[in-house]
Structures are given as structure tokens and as C-alpha cells.
Amino acid sequence: MAKKKYRRSRSNSILDRKIGIKPGHLYVPTEAFVPRFFLMSFSEAMFEEQEFETYAQLLKRFKELPDARHWIDIRGYGDLQIQEQLVKDFKIHPLQMEDVINDYQRPKVDEYEDGLFMITRMLRWSEEQHSVEDVQLSVFSNANYVVTLQSDYADCLDPLRERIRAGRGVIRQRPPIYIVYAILDVVLDYYFPVIAEIGKYVDELEHSILKSSSKITLQHILDLKNELVKLRRIAWPERDKLVELLRMEEDVLPENLKVYFRDAYDHTIQLIDLIDSHKEMASSLVDLYMSTVSNRMNEIMKVLTIISSIFIPLSFIAGIYGMNFARENPETGEVYPYSMPELYQPYAYPILISLMLLLILLQLYFFYRKGWFTKSF
């Protein structure tokens, strides 16, 4: 069972949707993984973590612990029955389940069974492709449990799982909404290194342009801009989501936890700030690229002009003395003294060569004064 890769940048999954199917229709996406089932149950007194073979086993164990809080973590959408079970067992609205599977949804938050349904996107920077890969994480939460659903086996939540296992801080005492915050916090934490990577890549591109290395072309810059547009398309709804969360009622989001969500909100604002700055930088790179192209053209033209300006007039002079005006009339033998008399002077040739050298030097000086020998870029 090959490990599915994080999705490539211009994911068309949203564009592949089947048309006219019943809203809330469930289906198995192509290349979906066989689902795996994880359950973390904890209360102030106990902690238990397990992977189950089947969904039924998980559900059974979940029901055996009515007083604990649970994190049900299902990875892979490869089984239609599981989807239908989830809809039934956790009272998920079919439209929401469809959003989960659809696998390209803007980050958003919705009401769900006295709790909330949240879609967030996990990011990763692909060093080779210089692109942002993102994968969707769907979260249902309630007074008793958090259900997370994702298409992939690997995710970025391991540091959080570690924290729960270690029982550090207050994480096991707080209600499941705090887990939702913790998930959001970890996910957003991963956005910053992505932007840091983009910053490094911008510097790299700038350096390449200035070195006018031919390997870097405008296309790389434009691809980067598209990545930033995409990032912005993800970060804005993350912010909107947090605005909506912060407006939620006391019973969904207790007042004493709002400070955490406000902190996450501050992070999304910083994110958008940083993305916008990087977008402006990328736009500047386009200007920079265009100006190097123009400057290189200037360099080429200078070479051409210097060479031509020096040698074309000299060639003309040489051409003059290559003319065959007759010194004397071949028939009458009459001498024409005004016919190219220079040719018959003993020192004419060395004098002419010297004058030509002088002319070359004068022109070089003229071009030097115009600053044409200093590289303009």
C-alpha cells in the first residue's frame, strides 16, 4: 500500500466533482487509502491509546468509556461503509461528510451537534518542486469527543499526540474544544516554516537573477507567485474561521478558552501579513528580472556599438585607399596629379595607420567617458 503523497499545488480535485449528483452523496474518492482507526481516550484519571483493526472495535471501545474524553482519528477514505457509519453514529450531516471527502474545501467552521465542524488545511513545502503541498484535515468536536478525518496516514499532529501522551500541561483536563485549539495551533505552527522556506527561496531567486545565471527564468518567479496566491487563499479563510469561532456562544467555546483562540487568530493575522509581504517581494523580483533583461540588452548593444563605431569608419578609410582611380590615362599616359596623390607619398602608409590607431584610442576614450565600460548591472 503505497504512501500517498501530499497533494501537488494546482490540485484539481475540487474541479473533478461529479455533476448533478445528489447533494450529500457519499463516495470513495479515486486512490483513497484503506482507512485506519485510532482512538485516544483520556480523563484526569486515565489515558489509553490504541489502533483498531476495524471501525466496529473502535466504536465499541469508545462506548465503553462514556466518562472519558476521546480523540477518534480516522485516516483514509477508502471505505464507503465507514463513511455511512460515521454519518449515522456521530450524527454528521451528509453534506458535511461530503465536504470531508471532497478533499478540497476552504478552511471553515460550521455548527455540528452542539459542537463544531471545522476544516483546516495542513501545509508542507516541497523543496524539489518549490511548491506548497496541502492536505485537508476535518475535525468534528463536541463536549465528549473530537473526531479527525484525513485522507493520508501521515500528518503534522504528532507533536500534539506526544503532548497528550506525556500528559504535559492541562491538555488532559480541558474539554475537547481545547484539543481543537491544540490541533489548530500545531497546524498553524507549520505554516511559519513554510513561509520561511519561501523567504529563502525568494533570496535564492534574487541572487540568481543578479548573477544573471540563465538557469533561473521568469517562470520560477511566476510559479512562486502562484504558490503565494494559493497560500493566501488558504490563510484568509483560516482567519475568517477564527473570527467566527471567537464569536461563538459560551456553550460551544467557553470564555476562559477564548484567549487561546485569540492567540491563534493573532497568528493568522501575522501569517497573512507575511504572505502579503512575500507576494510584494515576488512582484519586485519580476521587476528585477525584467530590468536585468533590459540591462543585458544594453550590454549587448554596447558591445555591438563599440565594435561597429570603431571599425566601420576605419573600414571606410581603408576602402577609400583601395579605390582604383588611375594615376595616369592608360591611353594617353597623361598623369592625373589630383587622383589619389596620398598613395604616392613615401610615408603615407605609416601616417595613416597611426591616424587610425589614434582614432581608435579617441573613440575608446569617448566610450569610456560615457561610462560604457562599467557594467551597468
* Residues numbered 227-246 forming contacts with a copy of itself, rule: CB under 8 A: 229-230, 233
Instruction: Provide, rounded to whole angstroms, the least separation between the CB of residue 313 and a copy of itself.
Output: 5
Q: Copy the grid coordinates of residue 308.
A: 561597429
- The reply on whether position 349 binds a copy of itself by CB under 8 A is yes
Q: Which of 54, 81, 243, 336 binds a copy of itself (CB under 8 A)?
A: 336
Q: Which of 278, 300, 298 is CA-nearest to residue 290?
A: 298
From the CB of residue 20, how many other CB atoms can be counted at a distance below 10 Å?
4
- What CA–CA distance (Å, rounded) separates 6 from 9? 9
Grid coordinates given for 6: 501530499
How far are the Cα atoms of 13, 80, 200, 281, 362 from residue 9, in angstroms, in the given order?
A: 11, 27, 19, 20, 59
60 binds a copy of itself (CB under 8 A): no
Pairing of the two strands 145-150 and 69-75 = parallel
Least distance from a copy of itself to the Cβ atom of residue 61, Å: 26
Can you tell me which of 30, 247, 312, 369 binds a copy of itself, judged by CB under 8 A? Answer: 312
Considering only 50-58, 64-72, 140-148, 341-349, which stretch makes contact with a copy of itself by CB under 8 A?
341-349
Q: Which of 250, 251, 255, 331 binds a copy of itself (CB under 8 A)?
A: 331
Query: Degrees (nearest 5) of the Cα angle 88, 93, 94?
Result: 85
Task: Pick between residue 243 and residue 301 the one whose CB is nearest to a copy of itself.
Answer: 301
Minimum distance from CB of 312 to a copy of itself (Å)? 5
Q: CA dist 134 to 75, 103, 172, Å?
A: 15, 10, 29
Nearest residue (CB) to a copy of itself, 56 versus 304: 304
The contact pattern for a copy of itself, residues 64-103, with x = CB under 8 A and - = no contact, is -----------------------------x-x---x----
Q: What is the full DSSP assignment across 303-324?
A: HHHHHHHHHHHHHHHHHHTT--
Considering the rule CB under 8 A, would residue 358 count as an interface residue with a copy of itself?
no
Closest separation in Å from C-beta 375 to a copy of itself: 7
Residues 264 to 293 in contact with a copy of itself, rule: CB under 8 A: 266, 269-270, 273-274, 276-277, 280-281, 284, 286-291, 293
- Binding segment toward a copy of itself, per CB under 8 A, in 26-34, 138-146, 246-254, 311-319: 311-319
First to last CA, the chain: 54
- Strand-strand pairing, 131-141 and 115-126: antiparallel
Tell me which stretch binds a copy of itself (CB under 8 A): 8-16, 128-136, 146-154, 244-252.
Answer: 8-16
Binding mask 27-56 for a copy of itself (x = CB under 8 A): ------------------------------
Q: Is 210 in the site for a copy of itself (CB under 8 A)?
A: yes
E strand or H helix at 109, and its extent?
strand 108-112
Q: How many residues does the chain have?
A: 377
245: left (phi over 0), alpha (psi -120 to 50) or beta: alpha
CA-CA distance, 49 to 162, in Å (whole number)?
A: 11
Please give the distance of CA 301 from its chain centroid, rounded to a whole number. Answer: 37
Question: 326 or 362: whose CB is closer to a copy of itself?
Answer: 326
The verdict on 162 binding a copy of itself (CB under 8 A) reads: yes
Number of residues that bind a copy of itself (CB under 8 A): 131
Closest alpha carbon to 123 in 113, 131, 133, 115: 133
Q: Report if residue 10 touches a copy of itself, rule: CB under 8 A.
A: yes
Q: Is 256 in the site for a copy of itself (CB under 8 A)?
A: no
The number of helices, as runs of H, and strands, as runs of E, in the chain is: 9, 7
The contact mask relative to a copy of itself for 176-205 (x = CB under 8 A, - = no) is: -----xx--xx--xx-xx-xx--x------
The window from 55-63, 69-77, 146-154, 213-221 that contacts a copy of itself (CB under 8 A) reads 213-221
- Integer Cα distance of 188 and 190 in angstroms: 5
